[in-house]
Each structure stands twice: as structure tokens, then as C-alpha cells.
Amino acid sequence: MAKIIVVTSGKGGVGKTTTSAAISTGLAMRGHKTVVIDFDVGLRNLDLIMGCERRVVYDFVNVIKGESTLNQALIKDKRTEGLYILPASQTRDKDALVRDGVEKILNELAKDFEYIVCDSPAGIEQGALMALYFADIAIVVTNPEVSSVRDSDRILGILQSKSRRAEQSLEPIQEHLLLTRYNPIRVANGEMLSVSDVEDILAIPLLGVIPESEAVLKASNQGTPVILDAETQVGQAYNDAVDRLLGKDVAHRFLEEEKKSFFKRLLGGK
């Protein structure tokens, strides 16, 4: 049975697409056949982050409307074996994502894939609601910042009342908190909410903490999922998060300011 994971947040710009790209790549790297779907109709971006923007021919809405087959729209990732991308449409109206159509495609994908990762758009409109409706697992991407935390709480309320699992009184969606753009130095200075502050407020299990880093912009510039930069802290933090998602018990890292050694300081190393 395929697992459907929604990457959601409410607020925009917190790192949903970066996370969707990283988590789906991480799952495929571990041998799980995975498809990642861009639900942001009108504002397609996952293709750019995954580096396959020039290979998009058909999209999610084309498949829903029967204008192409699912296989025609799926893009096979060139770097990671067992990873496919279903891009969002750019021009169609937002209401093109009808529930029956989305369900049909998810059911079809579930026959072939172990994991279906749904990259949600920001907001709580149709696209976001469709991305989370069928989910089994939710990754709530949150920045340590007031508006993001509040919006995440809003999204948690929606997961608990408007999803398929809620409506059909099934076992609730498994919720996970992924704290991104975390800056341990600012936390130590009392300028940023800490991991435990956010955990206290949202009260859901912590999947991972992704440090704020230049590596994310660098990876998106190149169209490479940042998880592939295994030597960076961000890459390692995402790899840990994927391991935890698969049930491994991995200690959290990068929560505290790295103590620079005297020589590192002298050499200006990071």
C-alpha cells in the first residue's frame, strides 16, 4: 500500500518545495520507489528545484482532464533511480484540481509507487486542501517565526478536520514537524524561537531541524535537491529526517552553535 505524504505549511516561503524535493529524493535513494507531485497549480516550481524544468511536456491538470496519460506526464529523475516528478500546470485555473480527478490519479500512482509526496501550495485554498486531503502522513514545514508557527497551527486544524481521514473517522494523519531555517546562534541570543518553543506550541513530534544555510540557495540555483549535498549540514539534516520518517531512531543534530576551534577561526573556516 502506497503511503501519501503531504508537505504543507500554510505560510509561503518556508521551504515546502525544497523539503518535498529533499524528502522524495531521500526516499528514492533508500530504494523506495517515489513520485513527487507539484500541487501548486499556476505557480509551478518543483520542476526548477528538481532541475527538470526543460523536460516538462504534460502536467498534473492535463492528466486529470484526460489530455495525456499519467506515463506521458511523469518525468523520470536523471540523478536518482526510482524517483519521478509530476509537474503542476502553469496556466489553468486553480479549481482544475477536482477531488475525484486527484483521487483517480493517486490511486493509479499507488499501484506503482511506495511513496507519493504531495508538494502543497501556500495558503488554504483548493490546491492546498487537495494536497492534504488524501494524506496518510503530513510534514508541517515551519520557520521559527511567529506567522509561520501560527499558520502551521491553522494547517494542523485543517488536517484534523478537513482531510479524508478526518471526514471518514479513520486513524488520523500522522503529523510531523520539520523546523527549517533554524539559526542556533540567534536562538542562543534570544532573537529566535527555539526548537522546544515551537514544539511546546504546536505539540506534534519533531521530524527534524534544518539549519539556515547558503547551501539551500546554491542547490536551487543549480536545480539539485539539497539532500544530495551530503557534506553540508542541510543535506545531512534532511538525510536524518528521511531516516526518522522511515522509523529509524536518529539523534537531532545542528541544534547548537558550532564551537569553532581556534585554528578554524584563524583560517576563517565555517
Partner 1 sequence: MSFFSYFQKKSEPTSAARAKERLQIIVAHERHRRKQPDFLPKMQQEIIDVIRKYINIDSDQVVVSLDESDHCSVLELNITLPE
Nearer to partner 1, 140 or 187 (CB): 187
| H or E stretch covering 179 | strand 174-182
Q: Cβ(250)–Cβ(243) under 8 Å?
A: yes
Min separation Cβ 147 and partner 1, Å: 10
Distance between CA 63 and CA 71 in Å, rounded? 9
Q: Is 128 exposed, middle or buried (0-12, 13-18, 19+ CB in 10 A)?
A: buried
Distance between CA 197 and CA 145 in Å, rounded? 11
The DSSP code for 172 is P
Report how many helices (DSSP H) and strands (DSSP E) the chain contains, helices first: 13, 8
Min separation Cβ 145 and partner 1, Å: 8
Distance between CA 237 and CA 15 in Å, rounded? 14
Task: Select from 214, 217, 129, 137 the least CA-distant residue to 178.
Answer: 137
Nearer to partner 1, 142 or 239 (CB): 142
Residue with cell 483517480: 104
Nearer to partner 1, 186 or 218 (CB): 186
The DSSP code for 228 is G
Nearer to partner 1, 137 or 201 (CB): 201
Min separation Cβ 50 and partner 1, Å: 33
Nearer to partner 1, 108 or 153 (CB): 153
* Cell, residue 159: 488536517
Nearer to partner 1, 78 or 162 (CB): 162
Min separation Cβ 108 and partner 1, Å: 34
Using H for helix, E for strand and C for coil, what is the string for 90-146? Answer: CCCCHHHCCHHHHHHHHHHHHHHCCEEEEECCCCCCHHHHHHHHCCCEEEEEECCCH
Min separation Cβ 118 and partner 1, Å: 23
Binding site for partner 1 (CB under 8 A): 145-146, 149-150, 153-154, 157, 161, 187, 189-194, 197, 200-201
Min separation Cβ 229 and partner 1, Å: 29
Min separation Cβ 128 and partner 1, Å: 17
Min separation Cβ 180 and partner 1, Å: 17
Distance between CA 229 and CA 179 in Å, rounded? 19
